[in-house]
């Protein structure tokens, strides 16, 4: 048995061909597909990090969200023995699906308007579940949102990567510069992080799949471009997608007036009374790969 498999005990690495998302080394750790050799279960992902702070942030969230729709199921967690070098902090979850960005590229770079509304509803619902359990995510973007076709044929969304997550209260101030394409104007200004900033990031996410890009690719310009967008968000959207700008405005109004769960989700039904945002995401399968309409 090689050193890696000695480190991870009953979990065997590389049982199946890994995808890019499993191999990618991100800011918050490394994810790998693994097999539990004790129970012969292979639909598992192990995330490991050498940063104990990431582990201390992520593990409480996974514990808190066990059994809630929209989140990975915590299966196991452990640390590796220091005898082999740096300690690795590991947790194992069920397989949550593919990165939504990968599915979008396979789907022609855009989703249908109805699927965008369905995805937005699922993402906001999952985030509000997280908020009700006492946490903010602080890193909602395309790489941290997964879609999976479940055994019943329904495509469901999950949020992953809680390495930056913190308790909602007291409102956390950024310990680093969190300016990014997906961050809210307030976060780019360095203000304390609140649930509304998660919600704004969730509203920005489907803009990738229209596609609409009001912020460009230069980090130094994000703040000014977000100020411009905030002044007139409706100018960026065709008429049939102006609801995204309306939703952005609704969340910012609640930032001042106070959060309303009812108003946030009733918004979708008011926007199109004939459409059910909880209806299944429409897709097809080609060459055993998921493609969204």
Q: Are 117 and 154 contacting, i.e. CB atoms less than 8 angstroms apart? A: no
Helices and strands, counts by H and E, the chain: 10, 13
Would you state the pLDDT for residue 131? 99
The domain boundary, picked from 94, 109, 125, lies at 94
Q: Are strands 29-36 and 11-13 parallel, antiparallel or unpaired?
A: antiparallel
As a whole number of angstroms, the distance between CA 168 and CA 135 comes to: 5
Q: Are 290 and 155 contacting, i.e. CB atoms less than 8 angstroms apart? A: yes
Q: Are 174 and 137 contacting, i.e. CB atoms less than 8 angstroms apart? A: no
Would you state the pLDDT for residue 10? 87
Q: Please check whether residues 36 and 163 belong to one and the same domain.
A: no
Q: Please check whether residues 221 and 89 belong to one and the same domain.
A: no
Q: Is the pLDDT of residue 50 over 70?
A: yes
Would you state the pLDDT for residue 237? 96
The average pLDDT across 73-90 equals: 86
The average pLDDT across 176-181 equals: 94
Q: Could you tell me the CATH number of the domain that includes residue 135?
A: 1.10.510.10
Q: Please check whether residues 221 and 122 belong to one and the same domain.
A: yes
Note down the domain range covering 11. Answer: 3-94
The average pLDDT across 168-179 equals: 92
The average pLDDT across 274-286 equals: 97
Nearest to 24 by CA among 161, 138, 126: 161
Q: Which long-range contacts (C-beta less than 8 Å, at least 24 apart) are formed by 240-245? A: 240/113, 241/113, 241/116, 241/210, 243/117, 243/271, 243/272, 244/116, 244/120, 244/203, 244/206, 244/207
Q: Please check whether residues 197 and 276 belong to one and the same domain.
A: yes
As a whole number of angstroms, the distance between CA 293 and CA 112 comes to: 5
Question: pLDDT tens digits for 107-119?
Answer: 999 999 999 999 9
In this prediction, residue 31 has a pLDDT band, given cuts at 50, 70 and 90, of confident
Would you state the pLDDT for residue 27? 44
As a whole number of angstroms, the distance between CA 7 and CA 84 comes to: 8
Q: Is the pLDDT of residue 4 over 70?
A: no
Q: Please check whether residues 106 and 89 belong to one and the same domain.
A: no
The average pLDDT across 166-176 equals: 92
* Percent of the chain at pLDDT exceeding 90: 78
Q: Please check whether residues 140 and 191 belong to one and the same domain.
A: yes
As a whole number of angstroms, the distance between CA 237 and CA 191 comes to: 27
**From 34-48, 207-221, 276-290, the region with the lowest mean pLDDT:** 34-48
Q: How many domains does the chain have?
A: 2
Q: Please check whether residues 90 and 105 belong to one and the same domain.
A: no
Tell me the residue ranges of DSSP E strands in the chain. 11-13, 25-26, 29-36, 41-49, 74-79, 89-94, 98-99, 135-136, 145-149, 155-159, 166-167, 283-286, 289-292
Nearest to 277 by CA among 122, 85, 80: 122
The average pLDDT across 45-52 equals: 90
Q: What is the pTM of this model?
A: 0.92
Q: What is the mean pLDDT of the chain?
A: 91
Question: pLDDT tens digits for 67-79?
Answer: 999 999 999 999 9
145 or 23, which is more confident: 145
Question: pLDDT tens digits for 232-273?
Answer: 999 999 999 999 999 999 999 999 999 999 999 999 999 999
């Amino acid at each position: 048995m090689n050193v890696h498999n000695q480190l991870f005990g009953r979990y065997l690495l590389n049982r199946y061909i890994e995808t890019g998302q499993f191999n990618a080394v991100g800011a918050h750790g490394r994810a790998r597909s693994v097999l539990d050799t004790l129970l012969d279960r292979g639909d598992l992902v192990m995330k490991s990090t050498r940063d104990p702070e990431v582990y201390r942030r992520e593990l409480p969230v996974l514990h808190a969200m066990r059994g809630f729709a929209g989140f990975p199921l915590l299966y196991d967690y452990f640390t590796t023995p220091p005898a082999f070098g740096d300690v690795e902090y590991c947790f194992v979850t069920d397989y949550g699906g593919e990165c939504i960005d990968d599915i979008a590229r396979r789907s022609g770079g855009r989703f249908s308007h109805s699927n965008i509304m369905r995805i937005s509803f699922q993402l906001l619902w999952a985030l509000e579940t997280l908020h009700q359990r006492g946490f903010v995510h602080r890193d909602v973007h395309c790489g941290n949102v997964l879609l999976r076709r479940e055994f019943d044929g329904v495509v469901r969304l999950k949020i992953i990567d809680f390495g930056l997550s913190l308790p909602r209260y007291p409102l956390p101030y950024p310990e680093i510069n969190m300016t990014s394409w997906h961050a809210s104007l307030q976060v780019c200004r360095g203000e304390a992080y609140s649930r509304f900033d998660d919600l704004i990031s969730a509203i920005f996410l489907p803009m990738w799949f229209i596609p609409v890009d009001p912020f460009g690719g230069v980090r130094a310009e994000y703040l000014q471009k977000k100020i411009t967008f905030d002044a007139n968000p409706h100018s960026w959207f065709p008429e049939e997608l102006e609801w995204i700008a309306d939703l952005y405005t609704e969340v910012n109004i609640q930032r001042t007036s106070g959060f309303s769960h009812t108003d946030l989700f009733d918004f979708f039904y008011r926007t199109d009374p004939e459409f059910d945002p909880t209806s299944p995401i429409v897709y097809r399968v080609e060459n055993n790969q998921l493609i969204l309409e």
